[in-house]
Amino acid sequence: MLQNIRARRLALAVAIACATLCCASTASAGKTRNVILVIADGVRWQEVFTGADLTLINEEQKKMYWHDDPNVRRQKLFPFLWETVAAHGQIYGNQNKGSVVQVTNTMWFSYPGYNEMSTGAADPRIDSNEYGPNPNVTVFEWLNTRPGFAGKVEVFATWATFADIFNGARSRRDAGRCQ
């Protein structure tokens, strides 16, 4: 059960990341100027797609976030996600509608999941959140080597382990940064 919850949380993180990527800022002539990937770890897909869970909220929260219609309820709980991101991008992971997003690694926790999300492939060697520097090149590191993008790729994160996941030491050598 706990592994299933963790997998779903990671799947939701991927769904939000995909939605955010699709909502990237664009310039005239349809050229992408900025791609901003935002990942919310630990958010349940059920709340994103159906709003507040009546069994988890108190009376005051019920007044603020409850509505009988799940589409209204989800917008009350995540207004920016539904009024901006969904309106200008794509959101994946609504399992009630068959949009199942899952990782393929067998670990179902943070580092292996973020590696898979940022490289496009699971790596069975990464079996701990304390694994150390990622041996795999992420899409951000690769993009930083492309003409016109060198030195323009940034990763900002709140968890110190992201410096390993995005291999900040190797990325800095290639003119990118992981902070």
The residue-averaged pLDDT of 154-172 equals: 88
Q: How confident is the model at residue 100 (pLDDT cuts 50, 70, 90)?
A: confident
Structure token pair of residue 65: 């976030």
Structure token pair of residue 11: 């799947």
3-state class (DSSP) for residue 138: coil
- Per residue in 104-162, pLDDT (tens digit) is 999 989 999 999 999 999 999 999 999 999 999 999 999 888 888 888 888 888 899 99
* Domain residue ranges of the chain, discontinuous segments joined by +: 1-102, 123-179
pTM value is 0.69
- Angstrom CA distances, 143 to 28, 33, 39, 140, 178, stand at 22, 14, 19, 5, 14
Give pLDDT, residue 122.
96
Whether the predicted pLDDT of 91 surpasses 80 = yes
Residue 44 to residue 9: CA distance in whole angstroms: 6
3-state class (DSSP) for residue 154: strand
Give pLDDT, residue 89.
81
Burial 70-79 (b: 16+ CB within 10 A, else e): eeebbbbbbe
Is pLDDT larger for residue 111 or for residue 30? 111
- Per residue in 4-27, pLDDT (tens digit) is 444 444 444 554 554 444 444 444
